[in-house]
Chain A
Amino acid sequence: MAKGGGLFNLSKFDVVVVGAGPSGSTAAYLLAKAGFKVLLLERGRGAGSKLLWGGKAYAEPLRKVWPELDKEAPIHRWVTKERISIVWGERALTLEYKLGRKVAFTSPLPELAGWMAKKAESAGALLLDEVPVDEIVVKEGRAVGVRSGNDFVSADVVIDAEGANRILLEKLGLADRPSPYDMALGVKEVLSLDPRLIEERFGLERDEGLSWLILGDITAGIPGGGFVYTMRETIGIGLVLNIGHAAVAAEKGILRDHVSRLVEGLRTHPYFRNYWREADVIEYGGRMTIEGGLRFVPKRLYSNGLLVVGDAAGMLVNTGYTIRGVDTAVTSARLAAEAIIEARDRGGFTEENLRAYEEKVRESYIYRDLVEHSGIAEIFDDPFFFSKVPSLATRAASKLFEADYGEPSLLEAIKRSAEEEEISLLRLMLKVGRVVRRI
């Protein structure tokens, strides 16, 4: 903790990283390991104390930075089952996939980010928490350090890893305040439950976990969805809602309940509640994420003495059915660290030398995914998918499975349901075809 300027003003660092989230800690770790003098600044009390997510991280991109990940990281459960449900009223249609290998794991983000920050510290980076950076200081077109209150610390390179709420980048004029349609609000409850009950109810082994995505009327028709993630002895449940659409629904009176009521609706839903009927709610909260895809990526990820990584750089892939922000944050930070190491070897952190970072990002899987899924935003903009499609699917399923007399065929069931919902089958097929191609 820096009070009154002493520590700050004495020293100069090679690199100052703003934000000890997954991206900031990754950059700090790799650069400290490469011999740089690194300062990692975090506004919260301890790394991770401001973070909330759904709950699963893809492991391979993290192993590239920490080969010891599987042994050391706070991995709660390896995801071995993926479920997708469409819910309409009391009805639900579910698809389950059993994975063949360990691809992603669950962990609370405060814990996972805490571990990453510890790795940065053990590599020699200096982590100071409770330090909110007020400004990235630019002099003569070059980032020269950061200011927090009356303290200034200078550095050869500043890495902006402040996350999706990118106030510093906006102050610098490198990003605009985002449109509410490009952002989503996640609201989450943490339920505590005996691990044995978690394993019994979901049919899991001791270190196995489940990741469950939910579409349908649990979002009150607002573009978005729900999630359930099993951790070691907790279950995270919640909703992600597009802020622009949710605001319009609220103003028009379509959304009448507070968002917490929607999450409570999920927790107490007849289809879900018996998985956690004894569970206590031990925490509740919200955090914002990115839905704008490429639109949220700043025009440039680098300038003289400055690199932007992770959520702040829009390095998050939101496919509509899953959010991948942590592995992409870690990867973008790794590429930034590589570019900085190369720039040092080439004699300086000029714009010219730092440009390699952006080129690396463009060649990476993140950029490819961002481009591929950028059309998803269009789907979010189409409420058709969040009201008509789920109700049609569950209606068709009810025709199949709730037939007291006679056995309708699947096609027949879909056709009849479409008629009742007044949806043209052709329009439906065109739209679904478009989505499938995008996804």
Chain B
Amino acid sequence: MSQAPSRLKVMKLEELLRRDVWDVDEERHIEVLKQEGLPLKALQLLCPMGCYSMAGERLLMSYEGCVECGTCRVLSKPEQIRWEFPRSGRGIQYRYT
């Protein structure tokens, strides 16, 4: 059996994120308001950009890599996560998708 070329090694999410272009808004557009009742594992595994992570018991949300897909929005209630679009033109800049 021949070895798969290095390009065919599984890439970590951080490596994949390096392929993308954002113009990050200085203002946070998504914020966890109330952690209680949120599906913590689902948010961590399903946010395609890995914006959700745990610091001990606390759910952290880093909005910088967000692609505004809305998945965390449909997995939460308005009182749990404040969800808005980034301001004018900011955020992900898709090119070839």
Contact = CB atoms under 8 A, between A and B. Distances in A.
Contacts of B48: 185, 187, 259-260, 284-286
B7 to A, nearest CB: 7
Contact of B96 (A43, A178, A282): A282
A178 B74 contact: yes
A372 B56 CA distance: 48
Residue picked from A108, A178, A188, A250, most chain B C-beta under 10 Å? A250
Nearest to A166: B70
A284 B19 contact: yes
B81 to A, nearest CB: 11
A282 B23 CA distance: 17
Interface stretch (A128-136, A334-342, A417-425): A128-136
B46 A1 contact: no
Q: Looking at chain B, what size class is its interface with the partner chain?
A: 35 or more
B75 A247 contact: yes
B54 interface: no
B41 to A, nearest CB: 4
Contacts of A110: 94-97
B38 to A, nearest CB: 10
B42 to A, nearest CB: 4
B11 A281 contact: yes
B51 to A, nearest CB: 11
B71 interface: yes
A255 B16 contact: no
Interface stretch (A32-40, A63-71, A264-272): A264-272
15 contacts: A50-B94, A51-B94, A130-B88, A131-B88, A132-B85, A259-B45, A260-B13, A267-B8, A282-B96, A283-B20, A283-B94, A283-B97, A286-B69, A287-B69, A288-B74
Given A50-B68, A185-B46, A264-B11, 18 more contacts: A1-B89, A44-B91, A45-B89, A52-B67, A108-B95, A109-B97, A243-B46, A243-B71, A246-B45, A247-B42, A250-B41, A256-B45, A259-B48, A268-B8, A277-B5, A278-B5, A279-B7, A284-B20
